[in-house]
Amino acid sequence: MIGKDRRFKSRAGLPALVAAILLAIQVPAAAQDPAPAPAPAPANHQDDAAKSSAHPKAKAKTKAKGKSRARAKAPARNDPPGFYMGRPIADVMSWEGANWLFRETRIQEEQPEAMLRSLKIPAGATVADVGAGAGYYSIRLARKVGPKGIVYATDLQPEMLRFLQENARAARVKNIKPIRCTQTKTNLPSGAIDLILMVDVYHECTEPDATLHGLLTALKPGGRLVLVEFRAEDPTVPIKPEHKMTLEQVRKEVEPQGFTFKESLEFLPWQHVIIFEKPREAKKSKPAKAREGSDKSITRSS
């Protein structure tokens, strides 16, 4: 299902009016934030959503069909449709729920500035916000890397990218490059990125192998992939189970794709901040001698 409030168990099905109220009260919330993001979806977008002929549920059906078709083409896995390595894949969050991404409480829940500070991203860095949505993190990243840095902001949904561009314009941020991607193609430049951030996105990827392969290709050697995911280990985190992940599951899925686990930061109230690195030297380029005999040449941080 695609829905505005589908993540918060307690808020499922709240009417559009509530979203509008949240939007209306977000200015004082943003004022508490050292790097406030602008309002997300201007009124005309809400109108667009209202005019849209498809009822959200009808749309969800269409998307689900599309997903099954994509899965049918994917390399054989042992998982039943809709699962990856034993985990249910969550539905993609629709652009129609973009207001939820700018909810007033998000600053307390996710502490976006503290999270980004913990990554120690230098000014001038080239970063990517993959699954950027309406730009909640892209705009903060853009300020962090400064005018000499660049933020590639990718998303599957053109509507999200449209919101993002409007929000970036309103925030007077000029160093964001929006990129439309697909579930199998990141469309990022190869070997160019210092850090890739995915906040609340990875569990929605229908083709994790292809996505991770694309992200690895896009990173510079030594570049970091950061996944921010709601903790599935904690039953008190009020998010639906398919939108949460355990650290163990994330590592189980990401490490076989060529990433090295570095660390997991656990200071946020609800989320893991899981950091991987692209090895500086590709394993296949290691001298034959080092590979001889065993897996001794494979180094892991843990």
| Binding positions for ligand SAM, rule: CB under 6 A | 92-93, 101, 130-133, 136-137, 154-157, 160, 181, 183, 199-201, 204-205, 211
* H or E element that contains 209: helix 208-218
- Asked if residue 230 lies in contact with residue 198, where contact means CB atoms within 8 angstroms, the answer is no
Judged by beta carbon, residue 136 or residue 175, the one nearer ligand SAM is 136
Instruction: For residues 268 and 231, give the distance between their C-alpha atoms in angstroms, rounded to a whole number.
Output: 10
- Asked if residue 149 lies in contact with residue 175, where contact means CB atoms within 8 angstroms, the answer is yes
Residue whose tokens read 């995915």: 198
Closest CB 209 distance from ligand SAM, rounded Å: 11
Judged by beta carbon, residue 133 or residue 149, the one nearer ligand SAM is 133
Closest CB 222 distance from ligand SAM, rounded Å: 23
HEC-encoded secondary structure of 231-296: ECCCCCCCECHHHEECHHHHHHHHHHHCCEEEEEECCCCCEEEEEEECCCCCHHHCCHHHHCCCHH
Q: Kindly give, in sequence order, each residue whose CB lies less than 8 Å from that of residue 254, ignoring residues fewer than 6 positions away.
A: 212, 225, 227, 261, 274, 276
Closest CB 93 distance from ligand SAM, rounded Å: 4
Closest CB 97 distance from ligand SAM, rounded Å: 8
Judged by beta carbon, residue 113 or residue 291, the one nearer ligand SAM is 113
Closest CB 197 distance from ligand SAM, rounded Å: 8
Closest CB 180 distance from ligand SAM, rounded Å: 9
- Asked if residue 98 lies in contact with residue 160, where contact means CB atoms within 8 angstroms, the answer is yes
Judged by beta carbon, residue 39 or residue 160, the one nearer ligand SAM is 160
Judged by beta carbon, residue 35 or residue 291, the one nearer ligand SAM is 35
Closest CB 85 distance from ligand SAM, rounded Å: 16
Judged by beta carbon, residue 26 or residue 157, the one nearer ligand SAM is 157
Residue whose tokens read 């921010």: 228
**DSSP, res 26:** H
Closest CB 299 distance from ligand SAM, rounded Å: 29
Judged by beta carbon, residue 3 or residue 131, the one nearer ligand SAM is 131
Our CA dihedral for 66, 71, 74, 79, rounded to 10 degrees, sits at: 170
Which of 67, 59, 43 is closest to 204 using CA atoms?
A: 67
Instruction: For residues 132 and 231, give the distance between their C-alpha atoms in angstroms, rounded to a whole number.
Output: 20
Name the residue with the smallest CB distance to ligand SAM. Answer: 133
**DSSP, res 16:** H
Judged by beta carbon, residue 84 or residue 136, the one nearer ligand SAM is 136
